[in-house]
Structure 1
Amino acid sequence: MQSENPLVSDFIKLANSAAGTLAGMGREARDGARERMKEALGGLDFVSREEFDAVKDMAGRAREKVDVLEARLTVLEAKLAGSSTAP
């Protein structure tokens, strides 16, 4: 049977506490750095991926409508040009 040395036991408790404290400090440092980065980038007018995708979809639909309107305009101009040259 091993005899427990109170000095060793206290040292182990101290080491465990220090490890927990260091881990907590690391998390706090990481979270603090993340917050500072968000604040720094917040003023740069970045958009979220969702906003970007939504505007990209809107632009695509607008482009499709323009293509359709251009085709209709071409047909109407051809009709107009054909009727003005006929006697």
Structure 2
Amino acid sequence: MIDPKKLEEIAKNISNVIPSGMKSMAGDAEEKVKQVLQSQLSKLDFVSREEFDVQSQVLIRTREKLEALEVRLATLEANDDGSTDL
């Protein structure tokens, strides 16, 4: 879902701004920040990059099929002489 490396990077950046007197707690703080970030980001309505890529491919194939159907319909309409037998 969410790239753990990005979360680690964000947590590390946050821990780097902690004053030097509190560095002993930085390791614990970094882990807590990662947990909080993961928890809050999981509540958001995100999709993974993999899922996005799969859905993009599905959309591309669907568009191709739609375009083929539009061409076929146009051909059929062009071949129709306009008469209707009712």
Using the size of structure 1 for normalisation, the TM-score is 0.63
Q: Separation in 1 of the partners of 2:35 and 2:78?
A: 62
Q: CA RMSD in A?
A: 2.0
* Residues 38-53 of structure 1: pairs in structure 2 closer than 5 A: 38-53=38-53
Are 1:76 and 2:76 matched, yes or no? yes
For structure 1, list consecutive stretches of 5 or more residues without a partner in the other structure. Answer: 1-20
Displacement of 1:38 after TM fit?
1.1
Q: Separation in 2 of the partners of 1:36 and 1:83?
A: 67
What whole-Å deviation, never above 9, does each CA across 1:13-46 have from its counterpart, x for those lacking one? xxxxxxxx82xx3222112101101111111111
Number of residue equivalences: 62
Q: Separation in 1 of the partners of 2:50 and 2:78?
A: 42
Q: Separation in 1 of the partners of 2:41 and 2:26?
A: 22
For structure 2, list consecutive stretches of 5 or more residues without a partner in the other structure. Answer: 1-22
Q: Percent identity?
A: 41
Using the size of structure 2 for normalisation, the TM-score is 0.63
Q: 3-state DSSP class of the match of 2:46?
A: coil
With a CA cutoff of 8 Å and minimum separation of 6, indicate the structure with the bigger relative contact order.
Answer: 2
Q: Separation in 2 of the partners of 1:62 and 1:55?
A: 10
The ranges of structure 1 where at least 4 consecutive aligned residues each deviate by more than 3 angstroms after the TM superposition are: none
Match of 1:60 in 2: 60
Normalized per residue, which structure has more helix?
1
Match of 1:3 in 2: none
Q: Separation in 2 of the partners of 1:57 and 1:68?
A: 17
